[in-house]
A and B are shown apart, each in its own frame.
Chain A
Amino acid sequence: MALEIPKVSYSGKIKEIVLGKGDKALTVGGETSYPFYLFEGQMPLKPRIAMEVYDSPPEDWAPTALEPFADVASDPVAWARKCIDTYGAEMIALQLVSTDPNGENRSAEEAAALTKKVAEAVDVPLIVWGCNNAEKDTEVLKKIAEDCAGRSLMIGPVTEANYKQVGAVAIGYEHTVIASTPIDINLAKQLNILLGNLGVPDGRILIDPTTGALGYGLEYGYSVMERIRMAALTQEDERLQFPMICNLGKEVWKTKEAKQSRDEAPKLGDPAKRGVLMEAITAQLVLAAGADILIMRHPESIALIQDMLNDLLAA
């Protein structure tokens, strides 16, 4: 008697979302099963990885993370080009950390001008990520949305505090919103409802469930993502049937262990390999929980994940 593995019957499907425009546009979503459970459903579109580019020269980065970008670290446009030309990035994520009012506090105009330059220099889909200060992000993302009208950016984080303002420009200037909530399935759903009510079309919403780094609360986001997928696929929770995005690179690389040198942590092995593995493992886990888009830093961890994706999605 051959074993029949009991199958889950999936009644839902993740919406397909087009990222970017033109030849290099990508589509994510479309799943009809839990991540990589190809024996009982489909995952027709591969999860995608965006490479990080920072709007100001990195401070305090682990040498291994900085090394690949050392020559372009103070030029975001060159940085973005290098990601594409040298490392084959299929997407770019511009991290606007310098707009933080508690930091450099660069103006919305500067941020928009820079974003525009980067947007013009690359043809792959472009994610623009604010500084996580709802008020400032509103100002910055509004300006960017206007100045990059029609470029189909992914802009975020859009939160309950600023969804109206950012949602409105996203509608008006045709961008995709990254709906960001703090590790909570109900809040995620609520924000999606609110965005829908505002008029943001379903084809332009991504869920950011909030991602913690390996060893730093990863499990919370992991379980919320699993629950979101479960609700979307088996409980017909239509407002959760959106692809998920995880901005994980910066979380991983800011942890102590990703940065420590061999001298500081002799028991933790090769610092370069350790950092890469910490990032790649974080990525692998959120993929297993349902991520569709990853924002990552190190070319090697990205290569490792691409390799795993190919294996897991092999025909």
Chain B
Amino acid sequence: MSKIICSAAIRGAHNIVDKAEQKYQEVLDKWGPDHPVGFPNTAYYLPIIYGILGVPVSKLGDVRPVLEKCRSLLPPLVSEKVWLPYLAPTLEAGMATFFAEEIIEAIRYLEYPDFYTKQEDPIGGNIWLGAADDIILRKRGVEFVDGTAPGFAAILGAPPTKEIAAEIAKELQEKNLYVFMCAENNGVRMSEQLVEAGVQIGWPTRLVSFGPDYTATVFAMGFATRAAMSFGGIKPGDFRGNLLYNKNRIFAFAMPLGPVSDEWYANAAGAINWGFPVIADTPIPEILPTGICTYEHVVSNVPHSEIVQRAVEVRGLKVTVSKIDIPVSYGPAFEGERIRKDDLYLECGGGKTKGVELTVSRDLDEVEDGHVEMIGPDLDQIKDGSKLPFAMLIEVAGRQMQEDFEPILERQIHHLVNYAEGIMHIGQRAIMWLRVGKAAVEKGFRLKHLGTIIHAKYHQEFGAICDKVQVKIYTEEAKVDEVLALARKVYEARDKRVDRMTDETEETFYSCTLCQSFAPSHVCIITPERTGMCGAYNWLDGKASYEINPTGPNQPIVKGECIDPVLGKWKGTDEFIFKASRQKFQTASAYSLVHDPMTACGCFECIATILPLCNGVMIVNRDYLGMTPCGMKFTTLAGMVGGGEVTPGFLGVSKHYIASRKFLLAEGGLKRVVWMPQMLKKELEAKLKSRGEELGIPNLFDIIADDTKGTTEEEILPFLEEAGHPALTMESIL
């Protein structure tokens, strides 16, 4: 921590504790140690002292030991020469500051019982509300827990003008934050500025004028401390628990507006203990590295126009968008609508014009949240029945965002756009196809609204990874070409990355237990080279799904020590399977059909099984309804191997996995495959051919038999023999 900040904070803390001691002596002399003292209507005494130290202060006599504690916490003033690691002592000074300020404010209640209004709103000319009582705490605290109010801004001082004050207050309100105000900047206080500007203040508008002095900071901090006790079940005195609760759950920050005095520094140091960062409008030293706070500790010299946005970022606050502001209805009921030729107003992509959509991640400062830009003609500038080139570039930034999540977000565009009434969307990437119906245009729908939809839904559904979303929509040919070129580069890089990823390079796999709803002991282990058997979840999906929904069906599995690289067994996966199958299975191979194959759920895309006579493996996909050489149709097979059971010799596989380098490694891989339905072969043709090349059997694709060659082992065997299929000479599959 900066030495300047530390020395100032420690100086300030000394001043405040001195002041508290002096005040205390005065009232003690006057009323004696048995006189009651405290904040009104609360069961939490002086809440910071109670929450952090576990000391219930109810009479003046109780104050003495607390002041002693303050003294013992106070580090010596920083001298010019000695350089110490300052963080810890400074934080302790901050703590002492709050204890002392609570005492000062409690004494104020004693000396001037009517100084504060003691209710939710200002009364007459008195705008100072003072400590929140327990009724307010409960009512407002609920909002902190359920997220309707994610946190608060503790503002000290005031911005230069009442207009700026009103602007900042409004912006904070829009983010659903409470604004807790105290202290003066050159005799000006933000609460008073707001009143002058005609803004209504009080708890109901979330603009809370706690008190005129910096000591009123403790009302904000006390509120947070009590919230942890009453909503987090944190016991009084469990200071660690209390501070962590606040750091993790209350999105609060301190915002000193105006020159920062020693006393303000002391308060700021205190707030950092709670994990609340400090965002200042003046050029004070910054403390960027993270530690106590989730991200930066002190960020300074932020212009007033950006200060709220910056604060929100630094505290890691999530934007919530509750309503999608578009002129047509929006919901799953409209997903499957078709726009017919006669209803068509605009058509883009789909082979008719150039069309592309791309989601990319950017740095936080490169994205302006909610920015939607239309470049080129929109629907009101074109004629009914037009065609336009189209590009949508979605730029996303977030602390938890990873490049790997881009394709997952991008894939969502399809159904998100389709939910809008009167809009039809098909495909993705550069083969996207968009149709807008006349009715939608009549209702006022514009292409720009696609951006509104994406912005809102990305926040709603992927808030965990998206902090900021901006969307640019292009309908000018030249611009579309630019995006297209960029997209091609991105797609290529993505595909390469996925291609390069192997089960050896990644330490973490993902599970999927979605199918346990009907197959109680089923667990899919999803590795970079082995997708879930339904084909719907690959490794990246697993990863993203976990980030978005950490308690959901996709959990990370640290694969741990490799037990058998050919079977595909790891310590970590086995442990996970034991637990997730609810102790039914101890182990499973990721790459074998015969030795401890994985459980099968029922929604596998294909089933692989052995053909003993051919010494090989056959694969049949769900869509193939005919007989297969194993003597069973897909449906018969599915009936025998589903339900979360392990059936040696039978395995549910996804289409994608068939072309993986890890496909049935234990049985010899793709070389073992002697039969597939022709439709499946065709679908996988390109991939199978290139795998054949890799394996040094360039004609492998051609020598795999299919239903045109036969549907019994006896029928296909001669074909395989003639073709010299490698399986025939491999080690016996049984």
Contacts and interface: CB of A to CB of B under 8 A. Distances in A.
B138 interface: yes
Given A167-B145, A198-B145, A172 B230 contact: yes
Interface stretch (B325-333, B512-520, B625-633): B512-520
A194 B551 contact: yes
Nearest to B584: A235
A190 interface: yes
A214 interface: no
A172 B517 contact: no
Contacts of B232: 199
Contacts of B551: 190, 193-194, 197
B520 A227 contact: yes
A231 interface: yes
A184 interface: yes
Interface in B114-157: 138-139, 141-148
B582 A167 contact: no
Interface in B521-554: 551-553
A199 B517 CA distance: 27
Interface residues of B, number: 24
B138 A164 contact: no
B20 to A, nearest CB: 32
Given A146-B139, A186-B553, A193-B551, A168 B146 contact: yes
Given A184-B517, A186-B513, A186-B517, A199 B582 contact: no
A285 B144 CA distance: 41
Interface in A153-204: 164-165, 167-169, 171-173, 183-187, 190, 193-194, 197-199, 201
A38 interface: no
A237 to B, nearest CB: 8
B31 interface: no
A149 interface: yes
Given A186-B513, A194-B551, A171 B582 contact: no
Contact of A201 (B141, B233, B520): B233
A172 B520 contact: no
A211 to B, nearest CB: 17
A97 interface: no
**Chain B: interface secondary structure?**
helix
A168 B144 CA distance: 8
Interface string B551-591: 11100000000000000000000000001001100000000
A168 B516 contact: no
Contacts of A237: 582
Given A164-B146, A199-B233, A186 B582 contact: no
Interface string A198-221: 110100000000000000000000
Contacts of A165: 146, 148
A185 B516 contact: yes
Given A186-B517, A194-B551, A168 B233 contact: no
Given A146-B139, A172-B231, A190-B551, A164 B582 contact: no
A186 B230 contact: no
A140 interface: no
Nearest to A171: B231
A190 B138 CA distance: 27
Contact of B141 (A149, A172, A194): A172
B146 A149 contact: no
A89 interface: no
22 contacts: A164-B146, A165-B146, A167-B145, A167-B146, A168-B144, A168-B145, A168-B146, A168-B231, A169-B142, A172-B138, A172-B142, A172-B145, A172-B230, A185-B517, A186-B513, A190-B551, A197-B551, A199-B232, A199-B233, A201-B233, A234-B583, A235-B583
Interface of B: 138-139, 141-148, 230-233, 513, 516-517, 520, 551-553, 579, 582-583
Interface of A: 142, 146, 149, 164-165, 167-169, 171-173, 183-187, 190, 193-194, 197-199, 201, 227, 230-231, 234-235, 237
